[in-house]
Amino acid sequence: MKLTVLEKDKNHIAVQFSGETHTLLNLLVENAWKAGATQAATVMEHPYLEEPKLVIHGPNPQKILTDAATMAVAEAKEFQSVFKKAVK
């Protein structure tokens, strides 16, 4: 995965994700809303020609994105724990 910050200011960040699909970005968008984003969306202009972008608006969008990623890791760990118990 390669990240490129395309735009950034105090209330907005746009990040391009090379080598990723909507799957990861949708998880980050969902968690960005929970972390206080006023707007959060993925942008993929063409599925074969463009890399997906994540756009977040809100107070301190860098913190919102970091918090969204932290929530995603916590959700994955919770799933892992529950799944291990379920398959025993």
Identify each DSSP E strand in 12-79 by its residue range.
12-18, 39-43, 53-57
Cα separation, 88 vs 46, whole angstroms: 43
Cα separation, 44 vs 24, whole angstroms: 13
57-75 residue pLDDT tens = 999 999 999 999 999 999 9
Question: What single-letter DSSP state applies at residue 88?
Answer: -
Which pLDDT belongs to residue 48? 75
28-66 residue pLDDT tens = 999 999 999 999 999 988 767 789 999 999 999 999 999
Report the number of secondary-structure helices (H) and strands (E) in the chain.
2, 4
Which domains does the chain possess?
Answer: 2-86 (3.30.1360.10)
